[in-house]
Amino acid sequence: MKVGDLRERLAGAMSSAMRRSEPEAVALTADRAKAMAVAMAGMDPSDEVDPEALVVGTRQVAIILGFHPEHVRRLIRTGRLRAAIVGGDYRVQVSDLWPLLEVRYRQPGRRRLPARRLG
């Protein structure tokens, strides 16, 4: 899929979400669109991209989640977020961020997000 096409699909998803009456659905769609947009920042619209294979560094993850980069590293070291080390920095697949985004919109009193161990 081309980057430009994916950006259009994300804009369409946001437009569709804005018509829903559930604020949580709008917020979750916005968070997912933000994550994908951050991962595609600087890419040419004609570049080919696999949405499932998009990766971001710890600083980008911090921007997406609204955390400090060191907190993101702690999440990785404790196994709550999967990552691979590339060139001295962690790389996280964007799809691995979905559970951390979804937990924000769960009903109070629900169980915490379980730790995701590597291996």
pLDDT in tens, 61-77: 999 999 999 999 999 99
Task: Confirm whether 24 is domain-assigned.
Answer: yes
Task: Confirm whether 36 is domain-assigned.
Answer: yes
Q: How many angstroms separate the CA atoms of 97 and 50, rounded?
A: 16
Task: Confirm whether 113 is domain-assigned.
Answer: no
Question: What's the domain range around 95?
Answer: 3-105
**Stretch (H or E) spanning 85:** strand 84-86
Number of domains into which the chain is organized: 1
Task: Confirm whether 112 is domain-assigned.
Answer: no
Task: Confirm whether 82 is domain-assigned.
Answer: yes
Q: What stretches of 1-119 adopt beta strand conformation (E)? A: 55-57, 84-86, 89-93
Tell me the pLDDT tens digit for each residue of 5-59: 999 999 999 999 889 888 888 888 999 999 999 999 999 999 999 988 899 999 9
Task: Confirm whether 28 is domain-assigned.
Answer: yes
Task: Confirm whether 72 is domain-assigned.
Answer: yes
Tell me the pLDDT tens digit for each residue of 49-64: 998 889 999 999 999 9
